[in-house]
Each structure stands twice: as C-alpha cells, then as structure tokens.
Amino acid sequence: MQTAIAAAEPRGKVPFYRHLYVQVLVAIAAGILLGHFYPDLGASLKPLGDAFIKLVKMVIAPVIFLTVATGIAGVSDLQKVGRVAGKAMIYFLVFSTLALVVGLVVSNVVQPGAGMHINPATLDASKVSTFAEKAHDTTIVGFLMNIIPDTITGAFAQGDILQVLFFSALFGIALALVGERGRPVVDFLQALTAPVFRLVAILMKAAPIGAFGAMAFTVGKYGIGAIANLAFLIGTFYLTSLLFVLVVLGAVAWYNGFSILALIRYIKEELLLVLGTSSSEAALPGLMAKMERAGCNRSVVGLVIPTGYSFNLDGTNIYMTLAALFIAQATDTPLTFGDQILLLLVAMLSSKGAAGITGAGFITLAATLSVVPSVPVAGMALILGVDRFMSECRALTNFVGNAVATIVVARWEGELDQKQFAAAMAGQLPEEADLALSGGLQPA
C-alpha cells in the first residue's frame, strides 16, 4: 500500500456532538422543521446548500488529480492500471444493468401508477420542456467526446470529473514511464496531498450548514405535502433501493468477505452529507479518503471511484425504469415486452454521466423517454414535484454502490490491506484519523 493515514495517538473519546454525522443529522432535522413551518424562509436558504456544494466541487479536481497521478506513478506494472480499469468497467456494466432490471421487475409487479387513468393531453408539458431540451443535447458520441478536454487547464476549470480523470491517468502513466527522472514531481505531488486533504477537512466543517440550507429549501419549496400525492411511487422507489443495497450489494459484500451494514456504518458521515445535499458529489473527496483509509490501494481508489460516478449509477438506473413504467401505467400507455426491452437498452446508455448533479436523473429519464416514443415525455410532469425527494435516494444508492465496487475491485487485484480493512469495518481505527477531524492522508 502506498499511503498510510496520519493517525495521531488517541487523546480520549471525542464528545458525540463533535462528530460530523451527528452535526449533519441535527442540521437535516432542523432544516426539515424550518422548511415545513416557515416555507418562505426555508426556500430562501438555498444559497447555503449551493455554496457548500461549490466549495466541495472546488477541491474535487485536485483530489482526483493527486490521487490518480501519484497512484498510477507508483505502479511498476502499467498493465495493472488497464486491468483495474477493465475489471471496474465490467463490474459497473453488470450491476448497472442489474439495477435497471430490478426497477423494471418491481414496477411490473407492484405497478405504482396503475389506476390513475391520466390523459397525457391534460398534462402541462411546458414544465418538463427544459429537461427535455437538455436531454436532446446529450448524445452518446457527445458524452464520449466530452471525456477529452479541450485543454489541460480547461478540464480543471470546468471541474468535469471524467475530463480530470482522463488527464490524471495519462499524466500518471507518463510519470511512471520516465522513471527516476519523474521522482521529484512524484515527491512534490505526494507532499501536496497532505494540505489538499487538510483543506477538504476544513471545508467539511461547513457540511452541517450546507445540509441545513439544502434541506430547508427542499421542504420549503416543495412541501412535505407533495410526498403524500405520490407516496406509493416514492415508497416503492425507496424500498426497492433499500432492498437492492441490502440484498444485491449485501450478497456481493458477503461473497467478498465483509458486511454491507459494517460498510454503511463506516461511511455514515458521507451518507448523511449526501442525504442532506441530494448530491453524491459533495461526499466524493470523503469517500476517496475513507476507502484509502480502509486499506484500498490509492491507484484502485483513484481509478474506480471517479469512473464509478459516471458509469456505476445503481440508484439512478432503478429510478429510470421504475419512473418510466410508472408514467406508462399512470397514463394507461400499454408497453409490450419489446418496448420494455428497448427502454432497458436505451436507459443503459442514457444513464451514463448522471451522477453528482442534483436532479440529473430527471434529465436522463427525459433522454430515455424521448427515444422510446411509446411513453409520453409529458408524463414526467407527474413526478416533477417529488423528483427532488427521490434524488436523495438515487444519490445514496449510487454512493453505496461505488463504495462496494472499490472494495471488490481492490480485493480482486490483491490491493486490499485485509488487516486495515477489518479494523475499519469493525470501527477500530483511531477516531483522530477520521477525515472530518484530522484532515486526511499522508504519503508513506
């Protein structure tokens, strides 16, 4: 393993109120109450959530670059890099497709939209026109071409995860190929890692404020009452996602020698941050640090997690097929088996690149429905009001899926420190080593 966590000697038990997850949990509860009882005030607090997400996005590019470049530069066998990427993509393809199938099966069995008998002509299509326009702008070729940045600085300026990952991987390979001549650069980047992750720790202290503002806005603007109108759909989606995590990902975890519940407990701070902000991108630096701290090799973490944010979207995939069939059922639109298979195939392609951005799942749903003419795109107006409440579940499921993928790929490659991983799952790592409290990673 190329890195070790800077862990100070324990100085006594940290008071519960200083734990980040406790602070975020309290902030979420306070945001819900404020948004419910003072909706106008709650809706006006949107800048708090937006500002926090912008703060985190500010450091995502440096975190990915440093992790990936130094991780690959330290790999003596560059074929291993391609092997890790290949295994990760196979994993992503299998489980993303499985998530789509799960959503399809559940929607056919439960039929959350049956009996609504809504005429698509009566729906206000203008409400979803903006999303439909964005969906038409997104093509598979355009998505793939966009992975290559126009300039090196442009990748970092725009903060596009895949563009930064693409350049970082190439730069890491170049460093590895020049050998000892690149050692000063590698040493500098490894030294730079410590203050960058310390910066992440500083920014994480604002997480409760961001979660409070984001949750107050959501409840204040859309109202808890909006949930009641489509409670069956929301409940079906949340339950399906929960079962996918506990049963499907739980089986994967069990087969690979760890407990999904232990993993969820280990990343609880990041999960609560995702819940509060509805964006898995807000917790990306924390997840990378946590996975490395748990014993996963830096090169595996750097390749799997950023790539997974665009290609491993279990929650988004469940949502897409479930929501598409809900609209078809609610509008009495008959779908043949062939129509559903077409929907599945289109969703496999359109779902890529939807992670990180709040509400991006709604845009990819519009992209899917625009290709499958059987389902009216105007039907998306039915779920527009509650999409924000389902966004949290999408992001949480995506997040857990990428954590599992990182551990599995690291184990496949023999790049998982089993002793350190067991300590992390058992909650036996020093609390002072927590990213939220101490600030991260230190090169070995």
pLDDT of residue 6: 40
pLDDT at position 265 is 93
The residue written with tokens 């609504």 in the block is 116
**Residue 125 confidence (pLDDT):** 56
Q: Decide the pairing of beta strands 3-5 and 441-443.
A: antiparallel
Position 196 scores a pLDDT of 87
List all residues 6 or more positions away from 442 whose beta carbon is below 8 Å from its beta carbon.
3, 4, 5, 6, 193, 194
Structural domain total, the chain: 1
Q: DSSP code of 335?
A: -
Give residue 312's pLDDT.
85
Where helices occur in 122-160 by DSSP H, the ranges are 129-136, 140-146, 152-158
For residue 389, the domain's CATH number is 1.10.3860.10
How many CB atoms neighbour CB 444 within 10 A?
11
Cβ proximity of 19 and 265 under 8 Å: no
User: pTM for the full model?
Assistant: 0.77
pLDDT in tens, 132-146: 555 445 555 666 677
- Helices 46-73 and 207-222 sit at what angle, rounded to 10 degrees? 130
Query: What parts of the chain have a pLDDT lower than 50?
Result: 1-12, 135-136, 353, 355-358, 432-444
Question: What's the CA gap between 259 and 265, in Å, rounded?
Answer: 10
The range of the structural domain enclosing residue 388 comes to: 3-443
Amino acid 79: pLDDT: 77
